[in-house]
Amino acid sequence: MAPPWVILGRVPRVAAAADEEPEDDAAPAFSLAVALPPRVSLLTAARSAHPDPTRPDKFPYVLAAGPDCLLSRFSVVPFYGARFGAAADLPEGHLVVARRFGTAAAAGEATAAAERVPDRPAAMPRIRSVEGVGLIAVGDGEGYVIAELQIERGSDRARLFRVHSGHGRWIETKLTNPLPARDREWVPGGVVSLQGRLWWFDLSWGILTCDLFIDGPDLMFYQLPGHRAMDVPALGNIHDSRCITACQGKLRYMEIMPQLSDLGFESVTVSMWTLNDVSWEKTYEERLEEIWNDNSYKKTWLPKEVPEIVLVCPSDPDLVYFSLEQRIFSVNVREHRALQFTSSATAHKLVNLPWPTSTSSRYVLAWELLHSAAEAGLPVKKEKAHIDEEIHLYAKFCKKRAEALKGSNDYELCHMCFFEKGRFIPVKKLGMEDHCDRFHKTKGFLCEKTGCVVRAATLREAGLHHHYCHMQKSRDWWRPYLEEHGQA
């Protein structure tokens, strides 16, 4: 049986001072709101989790996850831990491990203690990139090893920095750099823990790996499969279209890419390769159009647009999570079937970051939980399949709409207020467009039914509104549904 897992948001929420009890020294350093995929589980850091509680980082970053621990990087205001790229011009960040997860009093939450990782001595270079630091759990989370690999452009040597839990110091090991003799930068894109090793990857080039539990390990290089390696480092959001991850105990490379067919027109393929020993083997290659044209995808009301890769299920390489229009949805790629999706644009809100974000592996990760942790009471909020949840939400919307309007022909319930903010706001029909423009900063998409003034945030939501509010056999279809579920 595969262990339970969650989609974890990498940028924790930082608890405000008003959220905490200042006199309660036993308050947990971390709390976790747990939900099953396709929803995102969010970690909250209390001030006590910060190495410098007087200047708490507003945007810390989860670098890696083990079965019972999470490794985060904290900085101090005005800087933040979720900073990508070279960090030589910023103050040193601090590493903190969240450990010993247990059940919280609140339903659907877990708590954990904070364990400060010793800072590096002044003689060692600071962490160069948050995407170059990995963690290996030892003994089902009882211990861990943290490591960063630093590669100098054009050098025949690499520098490995390691620290073990329970040890008070970092150690440095110089390794032979196996990268091809090419004058280009190694750009860290993330680290995977698998088979007792760390696998550092550059999504435009390849993978470096070594055994951390021996002295002077050999560093090995695997170039990306096929012709996927680029001549120069990629710019932009490469995480949106490529990912490297562990699944079923093997390393996988996945991508979405346009492809020119023999007929001369462009298509889009979803492909996966598996690293077997020393070579790559193609697992599958499917056309995105096959997924778009399946009835299961049509029921999502999502547009036929190229999505972002979120992650691969840790126990099933065919089950892949994508993101489109701020919604996460899962697909069985080989069967071309859409399975589940979040039904609200706020359902996978990661954190209020000060820059636009995607839902790629740069901002989420798949976190496998210990069976023992789940059995001990680690709460997991179960979510229904997308169709049931969708019906439930629109039944509630129709009920609130009937209550708010009470037969009035001059008003309509704002769709965006309900589904984005959970508010029931009747708006004059003649003023609906102006209301959406002023309060939601968009005119939205108008329902296609003649005379209906409802505007939704996306074309998909406008279609769902039309289906549930205008296309049912009975106008009051929602009444027996809510009565059956005890919510009339």
pLDDT of the chain, 488 residues: tens digit per residue:
566 888 999 999 888 765 555 545 567 899 888 888 888 888 999 989 998 888 888 889 999 998 888 999 998 887 878 877 655 455 668 999 998 887 665 555 788 899 999 999 989 988 888 899 999 988 766 789 999 999 988 888 999 999 999 888 999 999 999 998 777 889 999 999 998 899 999 999 999 999 998 888 999 999 999 889 998 887 778 999 999 999 999 999 999 988 766 665 578 999 999 999 889 999 999 999 999 999 999 888 888 999 999 999 999 999 999 998 778 999 999 999 999 887 665 566 666 676 777 788 899 999 987 644 444 445 444 444 444 567 878 888 888 888 888 777 888 999 988 887 778 888 999 999 999 988 888 888 898 888 899 998 877 788 888 888 888 878 888 888 888 766 55
Predicted confidence at residue 261, as pLDDT, reads 62
Q: Detail the DSSP E strand segments found in 183-326.
A: 190-194, 197-202, 206-211, 220-223, 242-247, 250-260, 266-276, 279-287, 308-312, 319-324
Q: Detail the DSSP E strand segments found in 15-169.
A: 30-33, 40-45, 61-66, 69-74, 94-103, 109-116, 133-138, 143-151, 157-164
Name every residue whose Cβ is closer than 8 Å to that of residue 46 and which is 6 or more positions away in sequence: 15, 19, 20, 27, 28, 29, 30, 31
d(CA 320, CA 329): 8
AA letter at 10: R
Residue 294 DSSP one-character state: S
Residue 413 DSSP one-character state: E
The CA-CA-CA angle for residues 313, 317, 318, to 5°, reads 100
Residue given tokens 């996850």 in the structure block: 65
The pair of structure tokens assigned to 114 is: 């904070």
> Among residues 233, 177, 176, which one has the least CA distance to residue 205?
233
Name every residue whose Cβ is closer than 8 Å to that of residue 82 and which is 6 or more positions away in sequence: 10, 11, 59, 60, 61, 73, 130, 353
Phi, psi angle pair for 288, to nearest 5°: -65, -30
SS3 at position 395: helix
d(CA 236, CA 225): 21
AA letter at 312: V
Indicate the pTM of the whole model.
0.79
d(CA 486, CA 488): 6
How far is CA 76 from each of CA 14, 49, 214, 254, rounded to the nearest angstrom?
Answer: 12, 12, 35, 35
SS3 at position 459: helix
Burial class (CB in 10 A: 0-12, 13-18, 19+), 122: exposed
The pair of structure tokens assigned to 339 is: 């399975």
d(CA 4, CA 396): 31
Helix axes 459-470 and 386-405, enclosed angle (nearest 10): 70
Contact 113, 93 (CB under 8 A): no
The pair of structure tokens assigned to 392 is: 């439930």
